[in-house]
Structure 1
Amino acid sequence: MNESRVVGQVRIVGAGLLGASIGLRLRAAGVDVIVDDSSPSNLNLAIDYGAGRAARDTDDPALIVVAVPPDVTAAVVATELTAYPDALVTDVASVKVAPLAELRAAGADTLRYIGSHPLAGRERGGAISARADLFIGRPWVVTPHDDIPTAQISIIEDLVLDLGAVPVIMSAEQHDSSVALVSHVPQVVSTLLAKQLLRSTEAAISLAGQGLRDTTRIASSDPELWVQILGANSADVVPILRDFRDDLDGLLTALAAPAVPGARRAVAEVLADGNAGVARIPGKHGQDRRFSQIVVMVDDRAGELARLLTEIGGIGVNMEDLRLEHSPGAQVGLAEISVLPEVEDRLIADLEAGGWKIAGAWR
């Protein structure tokens, strides 16, 4: 990793997944990282994993990153602003309007505070799940406010770039309305779908394929954290859920009487709108382009997937994304490889020449 853009000590408050991942990445760049946490066991675990060192009385951090749950973010930021009067403070909470409002109400020095939020994470939390590459290529929203000096904003942008993320400047209001759509509502929808599995039989669940796994993956996220997030951003989440409910009601009406004139068209239009919506999702590193998907059959033997990926690299094709599907008991798995459309035919030909079976391909 290149030398860090961030200058001076960095203090991280909160030794969970995000805080520890930030620490791991910065330490790899040679930054003096201080880690603190209200839980001694969490703190010691993060230090053992290499996320940073314990605090000392002589510490003088230039930058403080608060990585604590949303309901205590403002209080911790205020404490850090008071304890370190020369430091710039940011936080990584997934809501931005509420903490800023709380800090203003408390009379905190908000000219030394800039909120931010990485659009990255994992279903499992804690330092044990931390990864130095967690933020690579992911958007990281920075939310300046009032008359924050440009130099202060640049410090947060340097932090984001050091972590391999892509800085995106938004107001706190823009951020909260945006993440309501792309993060918070998907969590609710995924959770409600997963809840239906509680009413199902073991026989039905045994048929689950990648579609169900994809749509319910985030339903395993921490309920306590999401109660806080959804409560803090309810003003932006509720209108989207109402629109979702209206669309669902329309689909229910059409499916309840599919022979009625216009019902099939109504269903088709919902599905087509879904296609159009998916097409708007940026690809790798935020690129607004579509990729070709090639599905390769992989025998369920040790080392086969690694061999496939090595051969793709040897062919000289850059893999944009990878998705795996493997049903319990199956002797083969399916590897869905996303590549640029212009290399699709060459990759298929070279893989087939190498003995791999192609199960399908589409754009």
Structure 2
Amino acid sequence: MTSQAAPLTTGPVKVVGTGLLGTSIALGLRTAGVAVQLSDASPSALALARDLGAGEPEGPDSAEPALVVVATPPDVAGDVVLDALRRHPDAVVTDVASVKAVIAAEVTAAADGAQRARYVGSHPMAGRERSGAAAADADLFAGRPWVIAADDAAAPATTAAVRAVALDLGALPVTLAPQEHDDAVAVVSHVPQLAASLVAARLVDAPEGALSLAGQGLRDVTRIAASDPRLWAAILVGNAGPVAAELRLLREDLDGLITGLESAAAEGPLAPGSVGALSRVMTAGNTGVDRIPGKHGGAPRRYATVQVLVPDEPGELGRLFGEVGHIGVNIEDLTLEHSAGARVGIAHLAVVPSSAATLEHELTNRGWRVVAE
């Protein structure tokens, strides 16, 4: 048996806020062997995180933390960071909110030089549609970028302490300035969230007959629309400028599409400019998708997809995975398309192109029905 490597993080670590991110951080650090103290304004949320094994609630006899992680919503994170800097004069303090510039400005305005040297904002680029400690996972950050939003005031030891946490949780540390971070997440996180919510909102008054036709495409587009509205409202107003700028660009694209479609509706499908307007947006979308980094944040990579019908019976999906493993093919990504009440689902297995033909052949020989793309 191999022994677990010693953690890079020096404890105790105090986690303030026991929602999804805070509890996941605490669980991961506990797994790595780091002592964790928990704090939350909600006694029931605190008790749940404790019962999940995330740590022990902070008490009057608790040791002084070496590091404080503020995992509260962004609209209160600045105040909580400042309180932690004052209460724990020897601790490094970070927050993991989804916006960075506004919190950094609050700290700069209210903290002295020594306190500012002990603070650096950070943001693990990981999450789920579900919120709260019940959705927490010690492996939530594995292979995901963890932004360290350092400015000139943060001491090198402060940045190093937060980097150690990211590494202990299996994340990939990335250093960006606070505003650089906010501009980036407006593009890759905040506007996609709004786009998903806008599409899902069109379903509120949709006829039941239309909803019965919904397929995997609609589920993919609207998946993150199930996120917590209150949390996202706080995130979006905290990054209002960059998000508004991106939405204006999106509106220009939408206006072009609407003009093209209205022209086609009025003058026929081959009306001048209509096909070109649609083609430009679709082509740009293809190019954008190709730029999304691949597995584990690596370089973009094209995979072949093998589609397999999976009976809606207990154990069948597990049997498929087992047989793919016996064949010796690694599944790089997986999506499962299944409608309620359907007798079968379709597993879309993404594999390296050189393995696709072998996998299709071997699965067919083992009795699986492979669907041609």
TM-score (norm 2): 0.94
Structure-2 residue corresponding to 1:323: 335
> Is 2:314 the counterpart of 1:278?
no
Q: Cα offset for 1:6?
A: 0.7
Instruction: Map residues 147-162 of structure 1 onto 2, 5 A cutoff.
Output: 147-162=153-168
Instruction: Map residues 1-363 of structure 1 onto 2, 5 A cutoff.
Output: 2-56=5-59, 57-108=61-112, 109-258=115-264, 259-288=270-299, 289-361=301-373
Deviation track 1:319-361 (CA, whole Å, cap 9, x = no partner) reads 1111111012211101111112222222222211211111134
Separation of aligned partners in 2, 1:212 and 1:145 = 41
Letter in 1 for 2:322: T
Separation of aligned partners in 2, 1:229 and 1:8 = 29
Deviation track 1:82-118 (CA, whole Å, cap 9, x = no partner) reads 1111110111000000001011111241110010001
Name the SS of the counterpart of 1:90 in structure 2: strand
Q: Cα offset for 1:154?
A: 1.8
Name the SS of the counterpart of 1:31 in structure 2: coil
The farther-off stretch of 51-60 and 212-221 is 51-60
Letter in 2 for 1:196: R
Letter in 2 for 1:48: D
**2:118·2:155 contact (CA, 8 Å) conserved in 1?**
no
Separation of aligned partners in 2, 1:58 and 1:137 = 32
Separation of aligned partners in 2, 1:354 and 1:154 = 52
Which blocks of at least 5 consecutive residues in structure 2 are unaligned? 265-269
Q: Cα offset for 1:147?
A: 4.2
Q: After TM superposition, where is structure 1 displaced by more than 6 Å over at least 4 residues in a row?
A: none
Letter in 2 for 1:47: R
Separation of aligned partners in 2, 1:152 and 1:231 = 28
Structure-1 residue corresponding to 2:267: none
| Compared CA separation, residues 58 and 330, structure 1 to 2 (3 A) | closer
Which blocks of at least 5 consecutive residues in structure 1 are unaligned? none
Separation of aligned partners in 1, 2:89 and 2:354 = 55
Letter in 1 for 2:78: A
Letter in 2 for 1:314: H
TM-score (norm 1): 0.97
Letter in 1 for 2:12: Q
Name the SS of the counterpart of 1:198 in structure 2: coil
Separation of aligned partners in 2, 1:50 and 1:243 = 45
Letter in 1 for 2:93: V
Name the SS of the counterpart of 1:199 in structure 2: coil
Deviation track 1:261-302 (CA, whole Å, cap 9, x = no partner) reads 232122112111110110000111112222221111111111
Separation of aligned partners in 2, 1:190 and 1:3 = 41
Q: Cα offset for 1:192?
A: 0.6
Letter in 2 for 1:359: V
Separation of aligned partners in 2, 1:191 and 1:84 = 40
* RMSD after superposition: 1.2
Separation of aligned partners in 2, 1:188 and 1:21 = 25
| Compared CA separation, residues 75 and 147, structure 1 to 2 (3 A) | closer
Deviation track 1:95-145 (CA, whole Å, cap 9, x = no partner) reads 000001011111241110010001111111111111111111111111111
Separation of aligned partners in 2, 1:3 and 1:322 = 33
| Identity, % of aligned positions | 51
Q: Cα offset for 1:215?
A: 0.5
**2:13·2:68 contact (CA, 8 Å) conserved in 1?**
yes
Q: Cα offset for 1:304?
A: 0.5
Separation of aligned partners in 2, 1:248 and 1:206 = 27
Deviation track 1:46-79 (CA, whole Å, cap 9, x = no partner) reads 0011111111334121111000010110100011
Separation of aligned partners in 2, 1:223 and 1:100 = 24
